[in-house]
Amino acid sequence: MNRVTWPRVLQLLATLALVNLQIILGNLALARLDTMVALVVFFALGLALLLAAWMLQRLSARSVPELSARLPSLALAGIFWGMVTGFLIGFFCVPEYLNLQTGGSTRDVPVAEAPRYDGLGHRHYAGGALRPELEAEFEIHYRNSDGEDRPNFYRVVPIVGPDWQPSQPVPLWAGTTSERFSFNGWVEERRAIEGVLLHKGVYYRKAIARAGERHGLTEALGAPILRLDARPYEELIARARNRTLLLLLGASALWALFFLRVRGLRDPDAR
Out of 46-55, 60-69, 143-152, 240-249, the most confident range is 240-249
Across residues 18-41, what is the average pLDDT?
89
The conformational region for residue 155 under phi > 0 = left, psi -120 to 50 = alpha, else beta, is beta
Amino acid at residue number 11: Q
141-170, pLDDT tens digit by residue? 776 666 667 788 999 999 999 889 999 999
Between these two residues, 196 and 73, which has the higher pLDDT value?
196
pLDDT surpasses 80 at 130: yes
Across residues 127-139, what is the average pLDDT?
95
* Residue 265: other Cβ atoms inside 10 A: 16
77-129, pLDDT tens digit by residue? 999 999 999 988 998 899 999 999 999 999 999 999 999 999 999 999 998 99
